[in-house]
């Protein structure tokens, strides 16, 4: 089955950097999009960054220019480099994998898989 294991969270000061890693297994990593989401206390979760199987990236407006998502298909790992951190980046960060399955009549369904989450805390 799909497994996503995050690492790299922790405490950083405002203006500092952290790098999150997500090791994936149980599916063909190179064929699927990967992403990072976050959820701050008492807030709805949001997409932080996404990278397609071809390497195309998408970022939330709040992190553009500060965060970089990348993937290493040889290592089945996706990364989130977070620079110029702000206190409002404090959240639990979740790794996401999108897999697809073909069902009846060729209908393609996207399935979302999640890691256990890693806490990122940015102090001012």
pLDDT tens by residue, the chain, 124 residues: 999 999 999 999 999 999 999 999 999 999 999 999 999 999 999 999 999 999 999 999 999 999 999 999 999 999 999 999 999 999 999 999 999 889 889 999 999 999 999 999 999 9
Helix (H, G, I), strand (E, B) or coil at 89: helix
Long-range contacts of 55-61 (CB under 8 A, 24+ apart): none
Strands (E) located in 1-117 = 3-7, 10-13, 18-25, 34-39, 46-51, 57-59, 67-72, 77-82, 91-102, 108-114
Query: Who contacts 1 (Cβ-Cβ below 8 Å, separation ≥6)?
Result: 26
Instruction: Report the alpha-carbon distance of residue 15 to residue 12 in Å, rounded.
Output: 8
């Amino acid at each position: 089955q799909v497994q996503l294991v995050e690492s790299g969270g922790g405490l950083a000061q405002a203006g500092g950097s952290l790098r999150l890693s997500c090791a994936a297994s149980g599916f063909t990593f190179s064929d699927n999009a990967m992403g990072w989401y976050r959820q701050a206390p008492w807030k709805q979760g949001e997409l932080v960054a996404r990278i397609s199987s071809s390497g195309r990236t998408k970022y939330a407006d709040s992190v553009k220019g500060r965060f970089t998502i990348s993937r290493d298909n040889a290592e089945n790992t996706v990364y989130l480099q977070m620079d110029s951190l702000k206190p409002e980046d404090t959240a639990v960060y979740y790794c996401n994998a999108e897999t697809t399955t073909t069902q009846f009549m060729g209908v393609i369904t996207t399935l979302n898989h999640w890691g256990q989450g890693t806490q990122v805390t940015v102090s001012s």
